[in-house]
């Protein structure tokens, strides 16, 4: 790798971090603002519409972009032409299918209001497809800065429109408007970033050469989306849009914590395993250390959230969303499966074990659907508990699949997270008691929350320092190594 290419790669990585960080923080803030204005039913209707729309978007666009990304330099132009028009054709076809199925899906979900939302969101797909190939070509040239800037601009304009529309009583269509404007601005900035006009000068044979790979990649990603959103769909069918709204707010808050605490570690774990994968002893040691460090960072965030959930929900979303509190507290227990899932995929990626990843994803899909369907007739809470059960049931199988590479057994993995887990639980119990009883005389909710969180941080740091100083040392070492990597 030349110095110039290395500099471009480092800059691109930094811009990717900026884009993901700004996207997530800003979109969460807007989600909170709009959720306060709208009600659970509106949020639930949009969540259900977005599930269908997102599945269509992934199937229609992502595989073709991947085909352009992996194309040889001499084939890029012709592959891009075929991919662009294949992309557009697939997007329009998906939009037509969703439009035709909008009424039956609405009937299945038990609400006529969903039909219009589905039809509107379906026609964001061709807009999304219109800029996908342009950005794929730009990213081949390390254009992550362009992607970050366009993402921020599109997010700002779309989110401002959503807040305005929500205030003007557009209801659920405030979020639909946000989606349309965001996708349109994204497409326009993509064309401005990469000045290329996609001609139709390609053959059917060239299109068919791109199609199988694109469909295969899209199908793989589609399974992942279904796994992550199957609970929303089943809650919508068996319980109703309002419950979907409550569940989506709880899950979105939990997901935000996952991104903030686990994603930074995932960005370095693959590279770490790739660098040492020939040394079995170091792989085992690194795997155990990453489990401890990731647990030390994520467990206090999740269990701390459970401890102060009531005050946090009241501040962020308002009193009418308090039904979210127990859901949020239950979903915080998903931090352990999330942690194992993160490092499981990192190990398989590092060792090139795509078949194992596919096998696990397929089994996880069927287990998730089966558990959720069994629980569905009994209401929203059994469905949430089925999600937790699936997460914990799959951990032994995950450890078994990667044990040949990590040399870590389930018992070894459990010991690695035990101390940070106990420290986080002690902190959460103390924080809950303090927020519920010790600070009850403080009527200012924000002051009470800040005081409880500050006390929790002090308690957790003290307990971890006494019981697991090694995790603190590893975390400092990992932070330093990451800083040196980008210096």
pLDDT at position 97 is 93
Choose the most confident range, by mean pLDDT, from 143-147, 279-283, 379-383.
379-383
Confidence of residue 307 (pLDDT cuts 50, 70, 90): very high
Confidence of residue 478 (pLDDT cuts 50, 70, 90): low
**DSSP count for the chain of H helices, then E strands:** 20, 0
C-alpha distances in Å from residue 464, one per residue of 229, 273, 427: 35, 26, 10
Choose the most confident range, by mean pLDDT, from 17-21, 328-332, 357-361.
328-332
Query: Measured between alpha carbons, how far is 233 from 37 in angstroms, rounded to an integer?
Result: 24
Task: Say if CB 80 and CB 130 are below 8 A apart.
Answer: no
pTM of the model: 0.78
254 Cα distance to chain centroid: 10
pLDDT at position 151 is 72
Task: Say if CB 236 and CB 109 are below 8 A apart.
Answer: yes
Task: Say if CB 140 and CB 199 are below 8 A apart.
Answer: no
Query: Measured between alpha carbons, how far is 124 from 95 in angstroms, rounded to an integer?
Result: 8
Task: Say if CB 8 and CB 142 are below 8 A apart.
Answer: yes
pLDDT at position 417 is 92
- CA angle in degrees (0–180, nearest 5) for 366-369-370: 80
Q: Tell me which of 281 and 137 has the higher pLDDT.
A: 281
Instruction: Return the number of other C-beta atoms located less than 10 Å from residue 411's C-beta.
Output: 9
Query: Measured between alpha carbons, how far is 279 from 298 in angstroms, rounded to an integer?
Result: 28
End-to-end CA gap in the chain: 17
Chain segment 67-118, per-residue pLDDT in tens: 776 666 767 777 787 788 888 888 899 899 999 999 999 998 888 889 999 9
Q: Pull the structure tokens for residue 436.
A: 């519920």
- List Cβ neighbours of 366 (8 Å cut-off, separation of 6 or more): none
Confidence of residue 206 (pLDDT cuts 50, 70, 90): low
pLDDT at position 5 is 47
pLDDT at position 1 is 44
- List Cβ neighbours of 23 (8 Å cut-off, separation of 6 or more): 151, 152, 155
Domain boundary assignment for the chain: 11-238, 262-485
- CA angle in degrees (0–180, nearest 5) for 453-458-460: 90
Chain segment 258-282, per-residue pLDDT in tens: 887 887 777 667 767 877 878 888 8
Confidence of residue 4 (pLDDT cuts 50, 70, 90): low
Q: Tell me which of 288 and 269 has the higher pLDDT.
A: 288
338 Cα distance to chain centroid: 11
Q: Which helix (H) or strand (E) holds 62?
A: none
Query: Measured between alpha carbons, how far is 52 from 45 in angstroms, rounded to an integer?
Result: 11
| High-pLDDT (> 70) share of the chain, % | 82
Confidence of residue 146 (pLDDT cuts 50, 70, 90): low
Selection from 240, 245, 246, 239 nearest residue 377 by Cα: 239
Describe the crossing of helices 335-350 and 410-433 by its angle, rounded to 10 degrees: 150
- List Cβ neighbours of 243 (8 Å cut-off, separation of 6 or more): 40, 44, 235, 236, 380
C-alpha distances in Å from residue 40, one per residue of 179, 247, 400: 19, 9, 41
Q: Is the pLDDT at 306 greater than 90, yes or no?
A: yes
Chain segment 316-339, per-residue pLDDT in tens: 898 889 999 999 999 999 999 999
Confidence of residue 2 (pLDDT cuts 50, 70, 90): very low
What's the whole-number mean pLDDT along residues 47-69? 78
φ, ψ for residue 279, nearest 5 deg: -110, 100
What's the whole-number mean pLDDT along residues 391-416? 92
Confidence of residue 486 (pLDDT cuts 50, 70, 90): very low
What's the whole-number mean pLDDT along residues 215-243? 79
What's the whole-number mean pLDDT along residues 421-435? 92
Confidence of residue 143 (pLDDT cuts 50, 70, 90): low
| High-pLDDT (> 90) share of the chain, % | 27
Q: Burial, 20: exposed, middle or buried (Cβ in 10 Å; 0-12, 13-18, 19+)? A: middle
Task: Say if CB 416 and CB 291 are below 8 A apart.
Answer: yes
C-alpha distances in Å from residue 226, one per residue of 43, 107, 230, 237, 337: 19, 20, 5, 15, 18
Average pLDDT, the chain: 82
pLDDT at position 140 is 63
């Amino acid at each position: 790798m030349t110095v110039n290419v290395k500099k471009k790669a480092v800059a691109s990585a930094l811009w990717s971090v900026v884009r993901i960080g700004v996207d997530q923080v800003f979109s969460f803030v807007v989600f909170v603002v709009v959720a306060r204005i709208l009600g659970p039913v509106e949020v639930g209707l949009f969540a259900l519409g977005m599930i269908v729309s997102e599945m269509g978007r992934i199937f229609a666009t992502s595989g073709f972009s991947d085909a352009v990304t992996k194309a040889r330099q001499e084939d890029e132009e012709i592959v891009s032409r075929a991919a662009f028009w294949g992309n557009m054709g697939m997007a329009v076809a998906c939009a037509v299918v969703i439009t035709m199925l909008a009424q039956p899906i609405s009937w299945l979900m038990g609400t006529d209001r969903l039909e219009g939302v589905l039809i509107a969101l379906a026609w964001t797909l061709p807009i999304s497809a219109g800029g996908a190939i342009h950005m794929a070509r730009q990213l081949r040239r390390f254009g992550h800065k362009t992607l970050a800037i366009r993402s921020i601009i599109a997010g700002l304009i779309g989110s401002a429109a959503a807040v305005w529309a929500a205030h003007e009583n557009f209801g659920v269509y405030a979020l639909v408007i946000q989606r349309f404007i965001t996708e349109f601005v994204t497409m326009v900035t993509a064309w401005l970033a990469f000045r290329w006009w996609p001609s139709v000068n390609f053959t059917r044979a060239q299109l068919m050469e791109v199609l199988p790979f694109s469909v295969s990649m899209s199908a793989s990603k589609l399974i992942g989306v279904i796994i992550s959103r199957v609970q929303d769909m089943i809650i919508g069918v068996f319980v109703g849009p309002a419950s979907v709204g409550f569940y989506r707010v709880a899950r979105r808050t939990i997901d935000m914590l996952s991104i903030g605490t686990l994603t930074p570690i995932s960005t370095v774990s693959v590279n770490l395993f790739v660098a040492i994968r020939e040394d079995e002893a170091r792989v085992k040691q690194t795997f155990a250390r990453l489990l401890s460090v990731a647990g030390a960072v994520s467990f206090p965030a999740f269990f701390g959230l459970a401890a102060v959930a009531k005050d946090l929900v009241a501040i962020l979303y308002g009193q009418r969303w308090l039904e979210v509190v127990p859901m949020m507290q239950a979903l915080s227990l998903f931090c352990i499966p999330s942690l194992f899932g993160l490092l499981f995929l990192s190990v398989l990626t590092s060792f090139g074990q795509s078949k194992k990843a596919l096998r696990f994803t397929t089994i996880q899909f069927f287990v998730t659907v089966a558990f959720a369907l069994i629980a569905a007739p009994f209401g929203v809470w059994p469905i949430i508990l089925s999600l937790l059960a699936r997460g914990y049931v799959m951990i032994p199988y995950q450890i078994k699949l990667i044990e040949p590479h990590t040399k870590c057994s389930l018992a070894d993995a459990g010991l690695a997270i035990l101390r940070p887990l106990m420290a986080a639980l002690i902190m959460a119990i103390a924080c809950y008691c303090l927020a519920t009883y010790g600070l009850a005389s403080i009527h200012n909710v924000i002051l009470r929350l800040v005081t409880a969180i500050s006390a929790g941080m002090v308690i957790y740091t003290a307990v971890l320092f006494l019981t697991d100083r090694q995790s603190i040392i590893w975390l400092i070492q990992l932070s330093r190594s990451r800083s040196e990597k980008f210096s």
